[in-house]
Structure 1
């Protein structure tokens, strides 16, 4: 049961004053809650300000720097309403001893402005000053008040991330309401640590977070922020340790075999395994032979041969008389793994089945039947593999591809089925060590470092969007020579909000330029069979250019595709660009990746694209990406069961992650069921951070 002292924080956000259904929906959006019903007061308490408005800055109109937020006191001279029927703004002019300022309002109501800013009244306004042709203007001041009422104006105010329609004032009021509900919580941090790090208490840290006095309080290294970051890491590490403790308690089935099946597969391969593939297979077979269940993360860059390591590991499970599953995040990827693996497995007499959400009716029932009798030895599919209807005959190994789409929760569902297979998790997103600790603190890691033999380096170039005509020209001649290319777009359909070229629009433009028969389109909103048909046509060479959204990011394998164009490359994460680039250069021909960007690029934008241009080392790229963008982004979305930290940042607080990991390990060693006084406090921390999954484990005992 959640401790009663947390109840006020888990009340619905709409229980706060001034928060109706509409505002609650916007707050859910800004705090990344997918379901407004699930948005609680605590979500606002964790919604940290990212900067602050300091109204103590009062330079006078003439001395106000461009683009800076200042507070001006002046006398209102005149109002200039726009001519009727035009889109021009409403302007109000005021002056102080140094000069004149135009306040500019779009779609404003004149009578309201007359009342708020009467002529000849001394007023105080606060906002960002812009200079045009030597004249100062302030568009939509943040704050306007008669000088006589100015004592009501807060001098320092936090600035929060917002969403369309949610005003700073409304959000600020809701946050203030949320903070008043904070109870005094028990102390779960180690007392030596709190004094050494000068940590405030949790409640005090939240109050300071939302009441910054100057820029130092917004800094990630401010004591209040460090305290909350530590708590966030600690909650994550304790839940990972509890999961691991539970998973390890379930004894593994030792797999001890001679490796005859694996040897047959290796003998049939047209290439030899790389040294790191051999080392990974050795690690895995050693782990599986032990009494404890294996939990291993296999990291390998795009094209480093993870599937082969998985197949050899699965062969060991089959040789021991068991079954193995390989679970992939998408339908396309499952079918592709099936195509690769069934060829090799059938040759040595191993039965492989594929089961996805699309497998229906009689076919589905027959496959489920073969899984239950043990006739199906290797089963490949999407998360359809873990539905309740499916019973395994003797599941010994589960391989999960692209872990970051697949959080701790799904790993638990497997265990909950009373099945305790060994677990191998594969990812092509090279994950920096700090992130491995945060997301997968419960795993041993193997890395595949070499590229398979015969892979040519990929030439990467960055080109501004203005030169898109040249690219189309190059594609025309490449297609005439029989080459294949991808063109990646960020969005599926044009929206007014975004000027990004959508996949559908780009497809029609390119089809016009290069001939409709040559150009195909694939995106996430198409049905499975539609996607398959397009992919098959691209593989067979019926279409030469595939316009796609990022659905091709993971695992699509067309070895003779040699050109990859990524439009609006500045909008993608580095790790994602690296993944996409890895879709070419898979055959023996030299390949090119063209990053089209819309200028002008920010400094970070430049830095990011040049890292990609200069390196093909996924691990290096991932480390840089982490420095430049932070971790929530690196692993894709916040909601995917990964640590999308709300206050902690791996970059700013890496030292605290190490401490939290050791602290969690020591605590659970002394108090595995969290029944001591500190253990009870730790349960409060887990509930506070919505780590209820982990607490269920304690209860299940």
Structure 2
């Protein structure tokens, strides 16, 4: 089935085919990303209004919405156009006023003839002791009372679209929703108490009470699960596709690894040992490895990565470690050199800087198999880079790297295993959404001997004290980072604030003691400034956020972050992780400008109270929501219409195991449930997944 099934055609028609949607409304709906009936089905009401009838406005919660039957009394037309038009009405116990502004008298007399009975519904407020309903939402003859639902859904709106238009269009879309085969495992569905797909849509769009709007209500939960299931099936198909791609068993002897471990001044943590065992097992299997190594700042990922590379070399092959930037590649190279010497393997580096004869010599050594392990930037993707026998490719800092690059890299070595490392702790629900196609190892312990970092909040008003503190620390031979605020308006403003701080600190601490790094500098100047700081030639490095990822200067033990409230939690955590890498006790000063917003205070206090990156990521998810957390645009994180990753994070794990099980039991999706699951993939527009089934 490589074309959309016919049963879904009505849902993919133009939006104008729905009742009450003309070209103008269609244009407005496009702003909500609604262009077809299916989009409307998955745009659920976000709240609702209780419109159950009462006998009287007396005793109702005011201000609030009231629905009541009234007898219409006299009309008071205003003397001047800007004054309100009043209609006096009487319910079973009291009288009150309906108020209209800029209304046409003839229209109101037709709508509300004196002496007639009407059902009115709208927000009632007290004004000078008299209850008033300003511009009622509904006015209908008593025999048409059925037009006002007991509980009226409230939809997200955009300019040019009213609640009434949305509700009508949604009901019209519901009439087109076909009855589909069931893709959910029957036992799972019964246990969760979920309705059929069609019924779930109906209940979600016609909630009976506020309870039906909650993410945990059976109908909503079912629809969220469908969305997550389609996403996890896509990832599971990509995963089984990779697994079917032949890998080769790479089994190490342990000999080179043992030399490295013997040379280390400390023992591995349990988490490191576990991760290495996972990786060795994957590499030893005949399928391609596709694993994510997730570790908090300073959890010792590099050592795990190096031991994995040694497995490749022990088996007679080669390994490559790729970093997103030149600085990081050089740093990995410097960090791994002593380990490579201990193991007795040949390590080389290849970046965009290598040109001419020197580059040629490196490429020849690589193709001849003389180089065992290569460290590099994206330069290793270039056509002329060939390995004699590439067994393992390791990618550092995943979020700069999409699924597509993971596949491309795997093609360099016909059957190379792939390991991705990230230093960004991600809450489990998001890790499943983003890396559901991968197996995950987590490093959640710090190596022994790491001292805790003391974090303090300091008001910007105490800048002089901070500079004094720095002066003393520098005199004792310590080094510090000074991170300048993020100014949203423009990089130019960022730049001037960094340059200004650089000038002031030079004046206070001495000309040659302060360096500067910012995003606008040519890469070689950036590297030079970093190198001077690494060598200890400068004591303070003033920087915009270019230093957040991976830079390692063990002697730097002070981190000052100016206007810390303008940074996100993940960024603050990454920045703080730049210190605390040596033997000295480290400090992180978060400077803020009072008054702090509620969110700003919560972020800074979280930083002060914990160093656990996973805990920090959970708080970040609660505060910001999933899309912002990874930056939806570049994250490959899907946009869900119904599912709420914060409130329904547990569903993601269920969907992942269900998707993997379904594909294990029915790889071609040929059973009745498998065929229903194909329809789900079409419904959720997972075209790439459908292609993987058809080629599979």
Equivalent in the alignment of 2:444:
449
CA distance in 2, matches of 1:503, 1:265: 44
**Taking structure 1 as reference, are residues 191 and 481 closer, same or farther at Cα in structure 2, changes over 3 Å only?**
closer
8 Å CA contact retained: 2:590, 2:604: no
CA distance in 1, matches of 2:593, 2:264: 41
Q: In the alignment, which of 633, 636, 645 is matched to residue 641 of structure 1? A: 636
- The range that moved more, 397-406 or 511-520, is 511-520
Equivalent in the alignment of 1:241:
236
**Taking structure 1 as reference, are residues 100 and 144 closer, same or farther at Cα in structure 2, changes over 3 Å only?**
closer
Q: 1:641-662: CA deviations, max 9, x gaps? A: 2355443345544554454344
CA distance in 1, matches of 2:124, 2:355: 60
Q: 1:530-577: CA deviations, max 9, x gaps? A: 65456456546658353424x54432333315124263538624x443
Equivalent in the alignment of 1:3:
4
Q: In the alignment, which of 681, 689, 693 is matched to residue 686 of structure 1? A: 681
Q: In the alignment, which of 482, 489, 513 is matched to residue 486 of structure 1? A: 482
Q: 1:602-635: CA deviations, max 9, x gaps? A: 4x77665544322222334345555565544544
**Taking structure 1 as reference, are residues 224 and 350 closer, same or farther at Cα in structure 2, changes over 3 Å only?**
same
- The range that moved more, 504-513 or 311-320, is 504-513
Q: 1:372-413: CA deviations, max 9, x gaps? A: 554554344455645667554422112122335545444344
8 Å CA contact retained: 1:569, 1:577: no
Mapping 1:523-534, distance limit 5 Å? 523=519, 528=523, 531-532=526-527
**Taking structure 1 as reference, are residues 571 and 579 closer, same or farther at Cα in structure 2, changes over 3 Å only?**
closer
Equivalent in the alignment of 1:468:
460
Equivalent in the alignment of 2:216:
221
Q: In the alignment, which of 569, 572, 575 is matched to residue 565 of structure 2? A: 569
8 Å CA contact retained: 2:485, 2:563: yes
8 Å CA contact retained: 1:76, 1:119: no
- How far does residue 585 in structure 1 lie from its aligned partner after superposition? 2.0
- How far does residue 321 in structure 1 lie from its aligned partner after superposition? 3.0
Q: 1:285-344: CA deviations, max 9, x gaps? A: 343233333333323210111012112211221333322222334555444334433565
8 Å CA contact retained: 2:564, 2:604: no
Q: In the alignment, which of 518, 524, 528 is matched to residue 522 of structure 1? A: 518
Equivalent in the alignment of 1:337:
332
Q: In the alignment, which of 27, 31, 56 is matched to residue 26 of structure 1? A: 31
- How far does residue 229 in structure 1 lie from its aligned partner after superposition? 1.8
**Taking structure 1 as reference, are residues 641 and 692 closer, same or farther at Cα in structure 2, changes over 3 Å only?**
same
Equivalent in the alignment of 2:312:
317
**Taking structure 1 as reference, are residues 319 and 158 closer, same or farther at Cα in structure 2, changes over 3 Å only?**
same
CA distance in 2, matches of 1:76, 1:564: 67
Mapping 1:356-435, distance limit 5 Å? 372=367, 374=369, 376-382=371-377, 385-386=380-381, 391-415=386-410, 419-435=414-430
Equivalent in the alignment of 1:114:
102
CA distance in 2, matches of 1:545, 1:116: 70
- How far does residue 421 in structure 1 lie from its aligned partner after superposition? 1.6
The alignment yields a C-alpha RMSD, in angstroms, of 5.0
Equivalent in the alignment of 1:109:
none
8 Å CA contact retained: 1:298, 1:445: yes
Q: In the alignment, which of 272, 277, 280 is matched to residue 277 of structure 1? A: 272
- The range that moved more, 531-540 or 551-560, is 531-540
Equivalent in the alignment of 1:596:
592
Mapping 1:608-623, distance limit 5 Å? 609-623=604-618
Q: Which runs of 5+ in 2 are unaligned?
A: 89-93, 113-119
**Taking structure 1 as reference, are residues 504 and 299 closer, same or farther at Cα in structure 2, changes over 3 Å only?**
same
- 1:27 partner SS: coil
8 Å CA contact retained: 1:487, 1:564: yes
**Taking structure 1 as reference, are residues 25 and 147 closer, same or farther at Cα in structure 2, changes over 3 Å only?**
closer
Mapping 1:27-46, distance limit 5 Å? 27-28=32-33, 42-46=38-42
- How far does residue 236 in structure 1 lie from its aligned partner after superposition? 3.1
CA distance in 1, matches of 2:67, 2:481: 55
**Taking structure 1 as reference, are residues 577 and 181 closer, same or farther at Cα in structure 2, changes over 3 Å only?**
farther
Equivalent in the alignment of 1:544:
540
8 Å CA contact retained: 2:296, 2:444: yes
CA distance in 2, matches of 1:117, 1:368: 87
- 1:642 partner SS: coil
- How far does residue 220 in structure 1 lie from its aligned partner after superposition? 0.5
Q: 1:28-82: CA deviations, max 9, x gaps? A: 5xx9xxxxxxx7664554344433355669997998768x78899997858797x
**Taking structure 1 as reference, are residues 474 and 387 closer, same or farther at Cα in structure 2, changes over 3 Å only?**
same
- How far does residue 682 in structure 1 lie from its aligned partner after superposition? 0.8
8 Å CA contact retained: 2:346, 2:370: no
Equivalent in the alignment of 1:230:
225
Equivalent in the alignment of 2:669:
674
Question: What is the TM-score when the length of structure 1 is the normalising length?
Answer: 0.75
CA distance in 1, matches of 2:413, 2:292: 22
- The range that moved more, 611-620 or 169-178, is 169-178
- How far does residue 591 in structure 1 lie from its aligned partner after superposition? 1.5
Q: In the alignment, which of 485, 494, 504 is matched to residue 503 of structure 1? A: 494
Higher Cα Rg, which structure: 2
Mapping 1:202-221, distance limit 5 Å? 202-221=197-216
**Taking structure 1 as reference, are residues 494 and 410 closer, same or farther at Cα in structure 2, changes over 3 Å only?**
closer
**Taking structure 1 as reference, are residues 114 and 310 closer, same or farther at Cα in structure 2, changes over 3 Å only?**
same
**Taking structure 1 as reference, are residues 506 and 56 closer, same or farther at Cα in structure 2, changes over 3 Å only?**
farther
CA distance in 1, matches of 2:130, 2:608: 43
Equivalent in the alignment of 2:291:
296
- The range that moved more, 210-219 or 619-628, is 619-628
How many equivalent pairs are there? 655
- The range that moved more, 228-237 or 415-424, is 415-424
- How far does residue 188 in structure 1 lie from its aligned partner after superposition? 1.3
8 Å CA contact retained: 2:275, 2:443: yes
Equivalent in the alignment of 2:91:
none
- The range that moved more, 478-487 or 57-66, is 57-66
- 2:248 partner SS: coil
CA distance in 2, matches of 1:505, 1:76: 62
- 1:309 partner SS: helix
Equivalent in the alignment of 1:52:
48
8 Å CA contact retained: 2:482, 2:561: yes
- 1:254 partner SS: coil
Question: What is the TM-score when the length of structure 2 is the normalising length?
Answer: 0.76
8 Å CA contact retained: 1:116, 1:145: no
8 Å CA contact retained: 2:121, 2:136: yes
CA distance in 2, matches of 1:52, 1:685: 29
8 Å CA contact retained: 1:345, 1:352: no
- How far does residue 639 in structure 1 lie from its aligned partner after superposition? 5.2
2:189 aligned with 1:194: yes
- 1:461 partner SS: strand
Equivalent in the alignment of 1:34:
none
Mapping 1:94-243, distance limit 5 Å? 114=102, 158-159=153-154, 182-243=177-238
CA distance in 2, matches of 1:455, 1:627: 29
